[in-house]
Amino acid sequence: MEDKSCPFKIILGSSSIARRKILAEMGYEFTLMSADIDEKDIRKENPEDLVMALAEAKADSILSKLQTIDNQEKDEIPTILIAADTVVIYEGVVREKPANEKEAREFIQGYSGGHAATVGSVLVTNLKTGFRKGAWDRVEIYFHEIPDEIIEKLIEEGTVLHVAGGLIIEHPLIKPYVKQVVGTTDSVMGLPKALTQKLIKEAL
């Protein structure tokens, strides 16, 4: 695999396993830092503004951590910080992580035979130059009918309780019931590759 990590360093400002996996698939080496923010404190009318505001809050939280640690050795090479956020939209309403099993079940039952969308943001900051730019991506997802026993298995397994809208289209149990994805799966998983690549290039 081509090593793209030489001319700059990357910090992925996320604890998401899916985002970690996607960035690694893109061929980058990176370090991880997570943001200490209360996402419920940040409220915006439309989902695009919300995911951008959340990514900015995450980036700011990590920047203040870095200044506290003061480990920004005056490097010759730039460090790129990537922050991201994703929400699910169902019938015009923003859905975050389900509060409990009951809500997760209601969420997934709603997708059955229906449709949902994800809006995901990516925000890239060059810590050396101060350059910062973000953008968002929207994906539409259409579902076949999802049998109740599949929904129960998903709840029992538990991963759906920890993701926005209880939505994991790449999950082996749900995959057969995904009818169509208008957009890219990596965007639904939390990090649109093409957009991330474009923003990294612009930041350097």
Determine contact, residues 174/168, Cβ cutoff 8 Å. Answer: yes
DSSP string, the chain: -----SS-EEEE----HHHHHHHHHTT---EE------GGG---SSHHHHHHHHHHHHHHHHHHHHHHHT-----SS-EEEEEEEEEEEETTEEE-S-SSHHHHHHHHHHHTTSEEEEEEEEEEEETTT--EEEEEEEEEEEE----HHHHHHHHHH-GGGGSGGG--TTSTTTGGGEEEEES-HHHHHT--HHHHHHHHHHH-
Residues of the chain with pLDDT under 70: 1-6, 68-75
Question: Which pLDDT does position 77 carry in this prediction?
Answer: 84
**Candidate CATH numbers 3.90.950.10, 1.10.10.60, 3.60.140.10, 3.90.700.10; the one for domain 9-203:** 3.90.950.10
Distance CA 178, CA 70 (A): 46
Question: Which pLDDT does position 141 carry in this prediction?
Answer: 97
Q: Scanning the structure block, which residue is given the tokens 């209601």?
A: 106
Question: Which pLDDT does position 2 carry in this prediction?
Answer: 43
Work out the percent of the chain whose per-residue pLDDT is above 90. Answer: 75
Determine contact, residues 63/44, Cβ cutoff 8 Å. Answer: no
What digits encode the pLDDT tens for the residues 66-91? 876 555 555 678 899 999 999 999 99
- List the chain domain ranges: 9-203
Distance CA 125, CA 200 (A): 9
Question: Which pLDDT does position 68 carry in this prediction?
Answer: 63
State the catalytic residues: 85
Question: Which pLDDT does position 149 carry in this prediction?
Answer: 96
Q: Count Cα neighbours of 203 within 13 Å in the Cβ-side half-sphere.
A: 29
Tokens of 55: 């990514």
Q: Count Cα neighbours of 62 within 13 Å in the Cβ-side half-sphere.
A: 28
Question: Which pLDDT does position 196 carry in this prediction?
Answer: 97
Question: Which pLDDT does position 164 carry in this prediction?
Answer: 87
